[in-house]
Amino acid sequence: MKLVVVGGVAGGASAAARVRRLDESAEIVVFERGQDVSYSNCALPYYLGGSVEDAASLILNTPEKFRKQHNIDVRVCSEVTAIHRDRKTVSVRSTVTGETYEESYDKLVLSPGASPIMPKSIKGIDRENAFSVRNVQDIVGIKTYLDAHDARDVVVVGGGFIGIEVAENLKMTGRNVTVVEGLGQILAPFDLDLVQILQKELYDNGVQLCLSSTLTAIEDGKAVCTKDGKEFSVPADAVILAIGVSPETKLAVEAGLDIGQTRGIKVNEHMQTNDPDIYAVGDAVETRNLLTGLPGRLALAGPAQWQARAAADHICGKDTSYKGFIGSSCIRVFGLNAASTGLNEKAASAAGLPFDYVTVYPYDKVKIMPEAAPLAFKLVYSVPEGKLLGAQAIGKGDATKRVDVIASLIHMGGTIGDLIEVEHCYAPLFSTAKDVVHMAALTAQNLLENRFKQVHIKDVRSLVESGAFILDVREAWEYELSHVKGAKNVPLSELRDRLDEIPRDIPVYVHCRSSQRSYYACCCLQGRGFRNVVNLSGSFLGICLHEYFNDKTTGREPIVTGYNFD
């Protein structure tokens, strides 16, 4: 059996290596049009900041290593230009010499990836100081230019994962960095209420954010943008575009392979195209979302690896399938770690699913331990079944560990009840006996059982502006440091002696610092006959984090008297 693989990074290299492990006698040829094969594209931004000191270390494997260790023939600087399905060959062109030839195959795996979007509508997009980020040569070229021209002002266009990682790393080198993002927030997998924490972190570290803004031109020393129909300029010695990627489907289209609804190569559960001898994996394919059943594309290394394994197994006669994705991702933004999985609030709404969510801010480890810090955690679940749909976590501690728990349960069809029963490792330096995920699950269970009602952080501003009765059950000294404007302070420790100060004929919105004491207060009041109490999900810490960035950047009237994040 002869296998030909088009594209030698995560998906292609993994498929080739897996086939070799299953079939020692197979002839395997990998074509890669770039100079390098099997490099760490996810680590590229960290070369700009110095975390990765040597660009050569980004290259994980070489053609020589593939030949010696796996007996795989890897040909770099070799672009596959056509697929001839009738005679089962591909046309190959050397990007160095221009020489062309045909190579035969029995099975073909396409892993062409996706190319950075560089809109021609942007005036000056072809200038020497405009860059995209795709491979090792790109990132080396960016650093070389920045250093050679002593570029101090850099504009990063796009607030996705690559854009934010590039911005963070450039800021760590002392440069002035501005992020221009077309949406009203960065990092779309996170909902606005949580992503405000990351926007605050960027703001506090000196990265300027221009949200709901579009780059229109690159000129000498500046980037020209528009927002709300108004033009403005940002100083720019260099512009790095990270506004998204487009699946490379030209080969597939010209070969008559089916393209899906999301413009990716259409495949089945074995990663086969409509030609049973041609498979496709990675950023260029369309699979499906496990939670919604809808077709989709996901440009992440993890899914590409599993797709490659499924394709390789099927090629070698194993009945392995790739069932789809849920979308798990993580990022570091200066001093914070952030992770997400499954559906966020926006995606659940768009899919038409009945859902609710809880937001909690417990400590990530026992509070008296060194480096203990709050961890913002949002859990999305279906109602009334309580099926887990997604989670988001942001904090100084281990956000990924908590989200990985949810991702595992989602793949198993887990529910809120299942999450409550998960037994975790516990020691004061690592977590709390009731971990963050347990606190969220217990809160969700109480809501599903109608034990109390809640209102979300995003609704607090309108409550304050309408003069709603907000009850702050923190201690008096906490209230004096900072509080929601107009809130009534009755500490939980005094609540039972001051019930006459709390109205029974209008809604009472209760909050504390992290929602724990406010939950106790709601239980107490309901036990004393109050039927009008509502818990503020996320409580005071969540309110502060949600409001801070917009207050500082828009000049709007704060609803909090000073901000206290301790």
Give me the active site residues, please: 42
Q: Which two tokens stand for residue 283?
A: 């950023």
Query: 10 Å Cβ neighbour count for 436?
Result: 30
Check: CB of residue 436 under 8 Å from CB of residue 404: no
**550: three-class secondary structure by DSSP:** helix
How many Å is the maximal CA-CA distance in the chain?
89
Buried b (16+ CB within 10 A) or exposed e, 418-430: ebbeeebeeeeeb
Q: Cβ contacts of residue 151 below 8 Å, gap of 6+? A: 129, 145, 175, 237, 238
The amino acid occupying position 18 is: R
The amino acid occupying position 134 is: R
Whether the ω angle into residue 384 lies within 30 degrees of 0, i.e. cis, is: yes
Question: Rounded distance, CA 320 to CA 323, Å?
Answer: 10
Taking the CA atoms of the chain, what radius of gyration do you get in angstroms?
27
Give one DSSP letter per residue of 257-291, joined into a string.
--B-TTSSEE--TT-B-SSTTEEE-GGGEEEEBTT
Determine the length of the chain.
566
Q: Which two tokens stand for residue 510?
A: 């209760």
Q: Which two tokens stand for residue 389?
A: 């749909």
Check: CB of residue 309 under 8 Å from CB of residue 319: no
Check: CB of residue 447 under 8 Å from CB of residue 357: no
3-state helix, strand, coil in the chain (%, to 5): 30, 30, 40
Question: Rounded distance, CA 392 to CA 200, Å?
Answer: 17
Of 243, 236, 14, the C-alpha closest to 109 is: 14
Q: Which two tokens stand for residue 22?
A: 């299953």
Question: Rounded distance, CA 16 to CA 70, Å?
Answer: 9
Check: CB of residue 124 under 8 Å from CB of residue 219: yes
Terminal alpha carbon distance of the chain: 63
Check: CB of residue 239 under 8 Å from CB of residue 371: no
Of 26, 28, 24, the C-alpha closest to 4 is: 28
